[in-house]
Amino acid sequence: MDFHRSKGELLPLAVNGKEVEQDCHRTRIVVNWHGMVFMSRHLLYYCSEPILDVKIAFCQGFGKQVDVSYIAKHYNMSKSKVDNQFYSVEVGDSTFTVLKRYQNLKPIGSGAQGIVCAGYDAVLDRNVAIKKLSRPFQNQTHAKRAYRELVLMKCVNHKNIISLLNVFTPQKSLEDFQDVYLVMELMDANLCQVIQMELDHERMSYLLYQMLCGIKHLHSAGIIHRDLKPSNIVVKSDCTLKILDFGLARTAGTSFMMTPYVVTRYYRAPEVILGMGYKENVDIWSVGCIMGEMVRHKILFPGRDYIDQWNKGD
């Protein structure tokens, strides 16, 4: 399916999909997850208004494909012509291929979802964090996580949730497409580092308040984070707090809500451990565990496995 600019020019993307339904306002197509992320990376960056029906995208994923609705109309372009000049640089043990606007890259963290480096954005004249997603298309699960994180970070706007500044890939064709880079605002530290400090009651209360504000905003939008832990919460020196990493997030009420292997074990609610149905309150349990860790300067329920974890939280 082709998407057009306001002047009738084709957007720089092409993905094969099957049209399954059409009316006067929308066209529904089915594409695979690899093509979905490739298409989203262009549309989310270029278009001046949201064009993904996130509820449909989340609720109607099936098999190796995803059913997504698009508003069938022309879009005004909010960005100037993208700078397509890239260069490669070694960052830690990984090679980053980034736009030339990003300079002075230095590693600041890594995890199961990707590698993060700090850099300077010469266009915005500010320091940024650049996350390279780890093997986003190794399998269907990785592709879904990459897609969810990209869409949620673009669509959710709140002062206590990390902002997505840019999305880019070095590859220009679907056949070569394998890397996804997310550019975010740069913070000073994550909560793991802050927990080791001696915080007074006022600062601790303010951090907890901001966590709950961010979570309340997600829940009001029908989104459950499902992976809240100190390393997924970042702060600035002025105690400003933001939540990040939406690779495991889900919309409330979907068929995926029974998934047991979510949330890092130490912050996992009892209903998750037992494989029961769960709702937004699993995030609140995680916040409580994080708060307890801030007070005690050590993990609240350090279970060795899921059985020991259950006994610790009993």
- Per-residue pLDDT, averaged over 5-16, amounts to 39
- Per-residue pLDDT, averaged over 303-314, amounts to 62
Q: Is residue 7 part of a domain?
A: no
Domain count, the chain: 3
Do 175 and 198 lie in one domain? The reply is no
Band (pLDDT 50/70/90 cuts) for residue 179 is: confident
Do 169 and 112 lie in one domain? The reply is yes
Instruction: Specify the 3-state DSSP secondary structure of 297.
Output: coil
Do 155 and 257 lie in one domain? The reply is no
The amino acid sitting at 162 is: I
Scored b (16 or more CB within 10 A) or e, 213-245 reads: ebbebbbebbbbbbbbbbebbbbeeeeebbbbb
Give the model's pLDDT for residue 84.
67
Q: Is residue 231 part of a domain?
A: yes
- Per-residue pLDDT, averaged over 225-244, amounts to 93
**Which of 67, 121, 179, 227 is the catalytic position?**
227
Q: Is residue 2 part of a domain?
A: no
CA angle 98, 70, 248 (to 5 degrees): 55
Residue 48 pLDDT exceeds 90 = no
The percent of residues above 90 in pLDDT, for the chain, comes to 36
Do 209 and 290 lie in one domain? The reply is yes
Band (pLDDT 50/70/90 cuts) for residue 257 is: very low
Band (pLDDT 50/70/90 cuts) for residue 2 is: very low
Do 196 and 304 lie in one domain? The reply is yes
Give the model's pLDDT for residue 130.
96
The percent of residues above 70 in pLDDT, for the chain, comes to 65
Give the model's pLDDT for residue 55.
35
Give the model's pLDDT for residue 65.
43
* Least confident segment among 70-84, 145-159, 278-292: 70-84
Do 161 and 276 lie in one domain? The reply is no
Give the model's pLDDT for residue 169.
87
Give the model's pLDDT for residue 72.
29
CA distance 29 to 36: 11
Do 96 and 180 lie in one domain? The reply is yes
- CATH code at position 231: 1.10.510.10
Band (pLDDT 50/70/90 cuts) for residue 61 is: very low
Q: Phi then psi for 251, rounded to 5 degrees?
A: -85, 145
Q: Tell me how crowded residue 90 is: count the other CB atoms within 10 A of its CB.
A: 10
Cα dihedral 153, 155, 156, 161, rounded to 10, equals: 30
Do 145 and 119 lie in one domain? The reply is yes
Residue 64 pLDDT exceeds 60 = no
Q: Is residue 270 part of a domain?
A: yes
* Least confident segment among 69-83, 186-200, 256-270: 69-83
Q: Which helix (H) or strand (E) is 273 found in, with range?
A: helix 270-273
Report residue 57 as tokens. Answer: 């995208």
Domain membership of residue 256 as a residue range: 189-313
Band (pLDDT 50/70/90 cuts) for residue 252 is: confident
Q: Is 283 left (phi over 0), alpha (psi -120 to 50) or beta?
A: alpha
Do 181 and 195 lie in one domain? The reply is no
CA distance 307 to 227: 19
Q: Is residue 226 part of a domain?
A: yes
pTM score of the predicted model: 0.70
Give the model's pLDDT for residue 31.
61
309 CB-contact burial (10 Å; exposed 0-12 / middle 13-18 / buried 19+): buried
Do 278 and 294 lie in one domain? The reply is yes
Cross-strand partners of 118: 106, 129
Q: Is residue 143 part of a domain?
A: yes
Do 197 and 303 lie in one domain? The reply is yes
256 vs 90, more confident: 90
Residue 161 pLDDT exceeds 50 = yes
- CATH code at position 180: 3.30.200.20
Do 137 and 93 lie in one domain? The reply is yes
Residue 120 pLDDT exceeds 90 = yes
**Any catalytic annotation for residue 200?**
no
313 CB-contact burial (10 Å; exposed 0-12 / middle 13-18 / buried 19+): middle
